[in-house]
Amino acid sequence: MLYLIFYAFVLASVIDIEYNRLLQWAEHLGKAVKQVPKFGLVAGTGLGSFMDQQLEVDAEIKYEDIPGFPLATAESHSGRFVFGRWRGVPVLVMKGRFHCYEGYNLEQVTLPVRLMKLLGIDKLIVTNAAGGLNPNFQLGDLMIITDHIDLLPGNPLIGRNETRFGPRFPDMSQPYNILWYNLAFETAQQLKIPVRKGVYVAVSGPNLETRAEYRFLRIIGADAVGMSTVPEVIVARHMNMKVLAVSVITDICDLDSLEVLTLEQVIATADKAGSKLAMLLGSLLTELN
Ligand code: HPA
């Protein structure tokens, strides 16, 4: 019995340290800025550079300069938080996200979103590079995500629920804000940017999918496939943040003539489409602000 009480005490303090640790990191980050950012932005593969051109940077904090913070490793990510203003709107950009395939657990993958919330941000915009499963999609299209399917191993909310963040069983009937995604779609059309709406399916990677898997993902209702976004969105919704997510279709998962895909191709297409994405997000930010 005594042993059990001791165990419960240790467990409770471990969890408390976790929350306090997040608070410490948030405090560390918060020192860098005078103004609470209005939006958190997660920049996906190859999509960070468009922000370099448009963002008026106030402060940059590398992940490695935050004591104890997990580091980004994927080649295409530079691993830092950037505080700045985009078209005058204060934002916090996470450059270099964490993926399951790098060996991070889902709690680590979603840490930056937790930090954003602790900093007082309650609006999140997520971008990613994705493979197009819908046969109508074309290379470089933007896809506004309307819903998702989670095929990742595990879930970032497994474990004792931290009620200071949100409920045990968060609702997922509308993870992506319907007003926001409709507005994003209409804005893209007005800007004459090729745009789609669709369902994103998250897989762990790092290998790309087989033809049989692409066929399966289509059958279960996905329009695009990628290796990110969903954990961040789950955690954001757990904390009742409003979410908009946009995929850049960097390759076409064509079952009849599937070609070998390299990371370089994905990044090159994402870079090319980056300016369209920047145009869209830039005008949305001013509208949603
Ligand atoms: N699968 C296929 N194509 C992709 C992916 C993926 O996970 N991400 C970007 N292009």
Distance CA 89, CA 285 (A): 7
Q: How far is the CA of 263 from the centre of ligand 1 (A)?
A: 9
Distance CA 79, CA 63 (A): 6
Q: How far is the CA of 130 from the centre of ligand 1 (A)?
A: 5
What single letter denotes the amino acid at residue 76? Answer: S
Q: Two tokens at 155?
A: 């879930």
Distance CA 272, CA 139 (A): 10
Count helices and strands in the chain by DSSP H and E runs: 8, 9
Q: Is the CB of 252 under 6 A from ligand 1?
A: no
Distance CA 268, CA 189 (A): 24
Q: How far is the CA of 235 from the centre of ligand 1 (A)?
A: 22
* Sites in the chain below the pLDDT cut of 70: 1-17, 46-48, 50, 70-78
Which helix (DSSP H) or strand (DSSP E) does residue 204 occupy?
Answer: none
Q: Phi first, then psi: what are they for 218, rounded to 5°?
A: -65, -45
pLDDT score of 14: 42
Q: Is the CB of 205 under 6 A from ligand 1?
A: yes
Which residue puts its alpha carbon closest to atom 2 of ligand 1? Answer: 131
Q: Is the CB of 130 under 6 A from ligand 1?
A: yes
In testing the pocket of ligand 1, which one of 76, 134, 225, 262 has its CB within 8 Å of the most ligand atoms?
A: 225
Which residue puts its alpha carbon closest to atom 3 of ligand 1? Answer: 131
pTM value?
0.90
Q: Is the CB of 131 under 6 A from ligand 1?
A: yes
Q: How far is the CA of 204 from the centre of ligand 1 (A)?
A: 10
Angle value at C-alpha 286, between 284 and 289, nearest 5 degrees: 100
Q: How far is the CA of 277 from the centre of ligand 1 (A)?
A: 18
